[in-house]
Amino acid sequence: MATVRVFSLAKKLGLRSEALIAALEHVGVTGITAAAAIEEATAQAVVELLAEQAKHAREEAEAKAAEEAAAAPAAAPEAAAEPEGWVEERRVGRRGSEPVVGIAELERHVRELQQAETKPGQETTYALPQEARRQRGERPETAIAAPPIVTILGHVDHGKTTLLDTLRDTAVAAGEHGGITQHIGASELEHDGKRIVFIDTPGHKAFTAMRARGAQVTDIAVLVVAANDGVMPQTIEAIGHARAAGVPIIVAVNKIDLPDADPTRVKQQLLEHQIVTEEWGGQEIVVEISALTGDGLDTLLDTILLVAEMEQLWVEPEAPFSGVVIEASVDSAQGALATVLVRSGSVKVGEVVWAGGAYGRVRRLRDWRGRSVKEMEAGRPVSIVGLSEPPEAGEIVRAVGTPKEARALAEDYRVQARQRELRGVAEVQLQELYRGLNLGETKSLNLVLKADVSGTLQALETSLMELSKVLPEVEVDIVASAIGDVTESDVVLAVASGAIVIGYNVLAEDHVLRVAADDRVEVRIYNVIYQILEDIEKAAMGMLEPIYEEQFIGRAMVLQLFRISRLGVIAGSRVTDGKMQRGARIEVKRGDEVVYDGKLTSLRHIKDDVPTVEAPNECGLLVSDWRGWQESDTVEAYAQVEVERKPVAVAAE
């Protein structure tokens, strides 16, 4: 199914990206950025919503104008009427008001999207069902509040596992098995009578991999930073992944019990990565904690519930069952196991379910502590036993009618996955970036940058962002930048963001390059900065629409005429300069007068129809709509030639 970038659709509709993102939230699409791609069906839904809002606003404006006219019939109009189909209304975005795109234009976009059909040979993709998406905002009467889904991210040894252990009252970090052999990749706790679900993320890769597959699982990211270490490379990676997922970030400054703890220094370091705390005028909430002693954990839980309340999360318990796979594995005794976050409805023992290439009848359900249950309701994690194979993280699980139907869906899914693999089209490479980004005039060039030192990294960022000024049709977006070698996490972030990985004076190990090759992500390593800028500029130039101009390509003299009944008049000519080209525009001149201006329909050399004839060869010229040739006529040929794009010089300010 075709997709469109958010910023491209916003520009086409005459909106700011922020306004369109806000409108997308109304149709259940959350946690996205302006560079994210959405399916045509989703684009159609949001365009229809905006069209309805614009129509409603126009009706209100017309009714108000009628009332004012009735109240003051003699009053002269103070301004000319707006063009029909255009209105002014309060934008659904968060930053004031702006002109709304015309209703007629919106309706045209709706028709275009409705008429878009799957082309022959194009596979069907399984869209994320509405009920599997995280629901926010106003909820129907049948809906219930949902517990927030929280993921802990941060640098190694900064206390992520200890924090989860203390919250769950287990002892995983100390090597004791407590709940480690029983919990299922997610855990629950209650605070002030409200449930919170924590996902035991195996790392930033899985966190973003689920987003790359279209399943936004996490509602809130807790970024753990050690008060004595400060911001470290994996901290920066975690920030990039949380931002890519578009979820709120709560910063937990850990290890405040240590003598060398310096929370203020941590907050200052976070400023360098655009994490501005509330006390310094920003939006991110910072909580100082000690995962070891438990200090500040109640405040952290209060903060999580506060952010969740602002997000207005809910689930629909009466809807058909659907969920998202958090992780999966194979157990020698039980077979395939899948940890699933139930998004809507409830899953029951005995139901037939399908998830990607996996299917089966639910034989057993276990809660996060490993206890068997008959049913698990919406908003909670559960382990499912009974699938034919372990599904991938991020797959959507659905209830289906019969095992036969589930098996057919799984087989169809595997066939399509194999077809995609065999196509082997590089989706994220410099030379392929233009593909699929031609809906809007602005092209997006997404980059993940890695460098050896901070000074080089900053210089590189500045230089690359300058391309947006030199090439106004290109939008350079640095998705993430950090110091250190290229890692698998960088590759996965590039997959989720449609980005290229650029490294300067760093390494990319073989296994990382293999992952990049499998995911079709281009990784480029340099040791000279200007080469990076040259290559990116060339890529950006290649992304732009080509410029064509008409250029003189040749001249010929008519020597003799041949009349053929089934063809017409063929002008036997000699090319005296350049070349004649079939399909070129020609001007036939008789002295100083142009007697014909049109297209060269056919070009013959001896008895063959040929595409070009160069000087000093002879040829036959034929046009389909004119027979007025005369000997000694001069023929000049012109063709559309692509002109090399050059950067636009920008005057210094």
Read off the pLDDT band of 217 (50, 70, 90): confident
Report pLDDT for 171: 43
Which is more confident, 124 or 593?
A: 593
- Quick one: average pLDDT of 560-571? 87
Closest CA to 212 of 499, 435, 9, 431: 499
For residue 78, the model assigns a pLDDT of 39
pLDDT of residue 127: 42
Residues of 397-427 as b/e, b for ≥16 C-beta within 10 angstroms?
Answer: bbbbeeeeebbebbeebeeeeeeeeeeeeeb
Q: What is the mean pLDDT of the chain?
A: 76
End-to-end alpha carbon distance in the chain: 45
Instruction: Answer whether residue 273 shows pLDDT above 60.
Output: yes
Would you identify the CATH topology of the domain 548-643?
Answer: Elongation Factor Tu (Ef-tu); domain 3 (2.40.30)
Q: Which residues contact 360 (CB under 8 A, 6 or more apart)?
A: 336, 352, 353, 386, 387, 388, 403, 406
Top pLDDT among 31 and 522 is at 522
Q: Which pLDDT score, from 0 to 100, does residue 184 have? A: 53
322-423 CATH fold: Elongation Factor Tu (Ef-tu); domain 3 (2.40.30)
Equal CATH topology for 322-423 and 548-643: yes
Distance, in Å, from the CA atom of 341 to the CA atom of 324, rounded to the nearest integer, reads 5
Where is mean pLDDT largest: 59-63, 180-184, 550-554, 640-644?
550-554
Lowest mean pLDDT segment, chosen from 154-163, 469-478, 479-488, 559-568: 469-478
Percent of the chain with pLDDT over 70: 70
Strand duo 220-226 + 149-154: pairing:
parallel
Q: Read off the pLDDT of each residue in 254-281 and give the average, rounded to a whole number.
A: 88
pLDDT(4) > 60: yes
CA dihedral 257, 261, 263, 265 (to 10 degrees): 180
Whether residue 108 has pLDDT greater than 80: no
- Give me the helices (H) in 383-477, please: 403-423, 454-465, 467-470
| Average of per-residue pLDDT across 454-471 | 74
Of the pLDDT bands very low, low, confident and very high (cuts 50, 70, 90), residue 174 is very low
Residue-range domain boundaries for the chain: 3-72+81-122, 144-315, 322-423, 430-543, 548-643
Q: In what order do the strands lie in the sheet with 194-199?
A: 186-191, 194-199, 149-154, 220-226, 249-254, 285-288
pLDDT digits (tens, 9 = 90+) for 499-536: 889 998 899 888 888 888 877 888 888 887 777 877 77
* Position 276 confidence tier, pLDDT thresholds 50, 70, 90: confident
Q: Which residue has the tokens 């009466």?
A: 318
Q: Which residue has the higher pLDDT, 498 or 261?
A: 261
CATH code of domain 430-543: 3.40.50.10050
Q: Which of 348, 327, 332, 347 is nearest to 390 (CA)?
A: 327
| In the predicted structure, residue 405 carries a pLDDT above the cut 90 | yes
Q: Tell which CATH architecture fits domain 144-315.
A: 3-Layer(aba) Sandwich (3.40)
Higher pLDDT, 72 or 9: 9
Question: Higher pLDDT residue, 427 or 602?
Answer: 602
Q: Would you place residue 5 in the very low, low, confident or very high pLDDT band (cuts 50, 70, 90)? A: low
pLDDT digits (tens, 9 = 90+) for 328-379: 888 888 889 999 999 889 999 999 999 989 999 999 999 988 899 999 998 8
The per-type count for the chain, helices as H runs and strands as E runs, is 15, 36
pLDDT confidence bin for 69, thresholds 50/70/90: low
Q: Which pTM value belongs to this model?
A: 0.53
pLDDT band at 180 (very low <50, low <70, confident <90, very high): very low
Where residue 259 falls (left for φ over 0; alpha for ψ -120 to 50; beta otherwise) is alpha
Per cent of the chain over pLDDT 90 is 28
Amino acid 559: pLDDT: 95
Q: What's the rounded mean pLDDT across residues 382-408? A: 91
Cα angle at 610 between 605 and 612, to 5 degrees?
A: 95
The Cα 449–Cα 461 span in angstroms is: 8
Is the peptide bond preceding residue 616 cis, with omega within 30 degrees of 0? Answer: yes
Report which of residues 104 and 57 the model is more confident about: 57
Classify 25 as helix, strand or coil: helix
Q: pLDDT at position 3, please?
A: 64
Take residue 56 and report the two structure tokens written for it: 């409603």
CA-angle at 457, arms to 455 and 515, nearest 5°: 145
